């Protein structure tokens, strides 16, 4: 057997962009390849762009940060892979204008994913790049549905270990742009959905209005300890996500 994963890094990079919607160069580096020099990530992204699989916009702020997103061609290819089968990228996910208009919130959501990934790596828990799924449609009955910013999968303990059940959580990131009414309606619906519609789950940490420019994150968990464990990550999540707000 050949012990080389030919194209594996390119495949993961494209899959992450399709699933996360968009990310900066630095975010992509820390998500897919934190153990190598960032120049390698830059070369990988440039190569994928040359192949027509991804594209980028350049933010006008200081530093002219590049934001990467999948092209329609790249999304079609990635969604044929087993790990992304069933995913339905937004029709505007590959439109540069739509990307530019959504960039503030979307990059904060990506930074939130990165906070969980980095913390899991530090703790030795299981949370891989593709364990963060954005904007998944979840019916809750009576013709209603919720579309959280992300669905998170997280398991305590190392790969292959018996660290307990896989935790699932809906994550909502508010950049102080949502009214209290919209914030308050998300948690119960998310809890009912994760619980299979049979009974309300123990509530996750309550939604907080963003203060001093920090994003507030509402989390509905699958397990009574899920909310507490994820709530413990809130300070790190806030400090990292705040770096990407524009």
Specify whether 116 is located in the same domain as 221.
Answer: yes
Which one of 60, 94, 128 terminates a domain? 94
The count of structural domains within the chain is 2
pLDDT band at 8 (very low <50, low <70, confident <90, very high): confident
pLDDT tens track for 94-119: 899 999 999 999 999 999 999 999 99
Angle at 141 between CA 137 and CA 145, to 5 degrees: 25
Which one of 67, 94, 121 terminates a domain? 94
Q: Is position 70 within any domain?
A: yes
Cα distances (Å, whole numbers) of residue 170 to 135, 184, 203, 218, 227: 10, 14, 11, 8, 11
pTM given for the model: 0.71
Question: What pLDDT sits at residue 142?
Answer: 77
What residues make up the domain containing 142?
104-246
Q: Is position 99 within any domain?
A: no
187, 203 in Cβ contact below 8 A? yes
Question: What pLDDT sits at residue 5?
Answer: 46
Q: In this structure, is the dihedral angle defined by the CA atoms of residues 137, 139, 144 and 146, taken in order, positive or negative?
A: negative
Distance of alpha carbon 236 from alpha carbon 112, whole angstroms: 9
Specify whether 73 is located in the same domain as 137.
Answer: no
Report which DSSP code applies to 131. G
Distance of alpha carbon 36 from alpha carbon 100, whole angstroms: 29
Question: Does the pLDDT value for residue 233 go beyond 80?
Answer: no
Average pLDDT of the residues in 199-206 = 31
Specify whether 30 is located in the same domain as 132.
Answer: no
Specify whether 90 is located in the same domain as 19.
Answer: yes
């Amino acid at each position: 057997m050949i012990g080389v994963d030919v194209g594996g890094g390119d495949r993961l990079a494209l899959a992450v962009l399709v699933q996360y919607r968009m990310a900066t160069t630095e975010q992509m580096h820390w998500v897919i390849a934190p153990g190598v020099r960032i120049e390698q990530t830059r070369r990988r992204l440039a190569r994928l762009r040359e192949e027509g699989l991804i594209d980028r916009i350049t933010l006008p702020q200081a530093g002219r940060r590049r934001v990467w997103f999948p092209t329609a061609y790249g999304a079609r290819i990635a969604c044929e892979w087993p790990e992304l089968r069933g995913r339905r990228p937004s029709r505007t996910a590959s439109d540069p204008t739509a990307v530019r208009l959504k960039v503030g919130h979307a990059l904060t959501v990506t930074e939130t994913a990165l906070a969980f990934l980095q913390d899991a790596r530090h703790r030795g828990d299981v949370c891989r790049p593709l364990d963060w799924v954005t904007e998944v449609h979840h019916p809750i009955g009576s013709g209603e549905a919720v579309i959280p910013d992300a669905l998170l999968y997280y398991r305590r303990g190392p790969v292959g270990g018996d660290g307990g059940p896989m935790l699932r959580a809906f994550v909502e990131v508010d950049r102080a742009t949502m009214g209290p009414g919209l914030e308050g309606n998300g948690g119960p619906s998310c809890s009912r959905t994760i619980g299979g519609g049979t009974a309300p789950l123990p509530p996750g940490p309550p939604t907080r209005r963003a203060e001093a420019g920090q994003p507030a994150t509402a989390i509905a968990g699958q397990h009574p300890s899920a909310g507490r464990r994820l709530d413990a990550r809130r300070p790190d999540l806030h400090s990292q996500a705040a770096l990407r707000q524009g």
